[in-house]
Structure 1
Amino acid sequence: MSTATQERSRIQYVYNLDDLFRVPEGPLSCKVAPSKLLSGDTLATGKSSTVGPVLTGTHVHVAWVVKPRGTGSKLHTHPNEQFNYVLRGTLIADLDGQVLRVPAGHVVHIPAGMVHSHVASPEEDVLFIAVKDTRHGIVGPAVDGKHNGPRTLPGFGSNKDNEWRLGPDGLPLPQSPRVSRDKVRYVYNWEELDKVPEGPCSAKVTPRAYVSKKSSSFGAALTGDKVHVGLIHKARGSGSKLHTHPNEQFNLVLQGTLHGDIDGQTVLVPKHHAIHMPAGVVHSMVAGGDEDVLFFVAKDTRHGLAGPPVDGIEDGPRFLPGFGPKR
């Protein structure tokens, strides 16, 4: 095979989340839906204002999306679970008979089948990562069966039927049905996950710790029925040894640059890029030498959060030259 043919057949594993306005050329590790309105061809014919690209693997959808301020999704449901991690702004969630604020740095978990709605607060647009399992698509139908535009806060929409009424405290009134007997936690602050929160939780919480003995990855994770999500830190110049696992993985970089070794390719994964690791593919991720890396990870639950090293020896992280322990 010629060098040119080899280059054309190389699989793309890294995706620029800020520039996915068309499907990239060549072989791809996952399905790419370019940035667009996720529900309906227009605002008036959908049920949500959410816009952005979607990456779909065999078991996990990952979306990098925006809701304009004061707008969001009508009450809806879907047979797959969902995690939304807010990067900028505040989501107002209506689920399980509660209205909950989800500010930047927080994640909200919506179990499969639960009626819910999310609207961006009036102060600013909301940027968030949405993760779902692939039992269903990225969008679920409106509860009232009408795709007649997004839900809006007062003063932000033209369809009064979709306006979310406010209560005396200025917060919207809950309209989702109450399904739990006890008050369940659905919103999690990553900065507070040094221990398991008290009371009933919608997802299993793995408190902040090192993920394995063959990696420098440190962080907390949430595990639902079909999806793990986590917020992970790698110290500069350090990372994971070559390893594999029988579940797929997406890493979305929020700070710094990951240096990847995947399927025999060397790749760079800078800020606001995602790397997809299909199940069973041998890979390693190391933080660049300039700064620590912070990334959001999504995996399906066919396996746990960590996979075994290829050499079978858990003897510490992989390092860039000059960053390992001094001998």
Structure 2
Amino acid sequence: MTQAITRHDRVLGCLIGGAVGDALGYQVEFDAWRFIEAEWGPSGVTEMRVNRVSDDTQMTLFTVEGLLLAGPGGEVEAVREAYLRWLRTQREPMPPAGAEGLAAQPWLYARRAPGNACISGLRDGARPGVNPDSKGCGTVMRSAPFGLRHSPAEAYALAEQCSALTHGHPTAGASAGAFAMIVAHLMNGETPQRAVSETMLHLRRSLDRSETADALQEAYRLAGNVPPGPNTCAPLGEGWVAEEALAIAVYCLLGTDDVRSGLVAAVSHGGDSDSTGAILGNLYGAAYGHAALPREWASQVEGRAVIAALADLLGAAS
């Protein structure tokens, strides 16, 4: 008899899985596929040679901290304040005296190619309306935590609102919201196929969400025809913009339940490999739990102890 996956195991799996995918992809971020293939071989990025995470995991953890500190109805403002704390880690070399929480963690002060819109949006006050033309994937890669403690509809709404703190384009909000909604469905024990289908139905209710819905539709089609592998996600784009990054991760999620091979496929392409890997890692962890993650990657990823402690707090709060 298969043991049921506990909610805590899904939370832990989601957060650790995101860090694992991030670290795998960060090794080759900005590299074209031909260079990846030359360095790593035709099988793609199959090793975690370096365990460092990027701004994707950093911002995800600050999202968690914001939600943990939020009072009822105060989630958006609490997450905004958390992101401003993250911004300070990108400007200072080490924690200042008296720093608390994540701001007291020296390893989070590493500057790992943070997104321009994330930096400029926060610098300009992190208020809705900033960067109105930006739909970079920096909104998606940080939004899994909304789905870990809220209903699918609530997760969508919160992720969409918090997306607007840095990226004003409607597609950025729709893609962040869709990602959080899929995570919430997976947390409820729904299959990946149903989680994605329910989210696509939600998106189709508004023309403002059409770019995201179309991208997910294409991911669904590709998953049914081309098994995920090195660079097979190329028809979906490179992942620099929100809907492409989400589509690449969803394609791998729907295309295989082999977590290792799916993660390899999600990062072995020329594009925003750390973000597509992080998003897929979040999805796999929420779907199949922490135990499904490759042990040698999950055990050594940077910041594991801090991430696990946050998962415990989030699980208790939920």
TM-score norm. by structure 2 comes to: 0.31
From the CA coordinates, give the structure whose radius of gyration is larger. 1
Structure 1 or 2: more helix by fraction? 2
Which structure is higher in RCO with an 8 Å CA cutoff and minimum separation 6? 2
Structure 1 or 2: more strand by fraction? 1
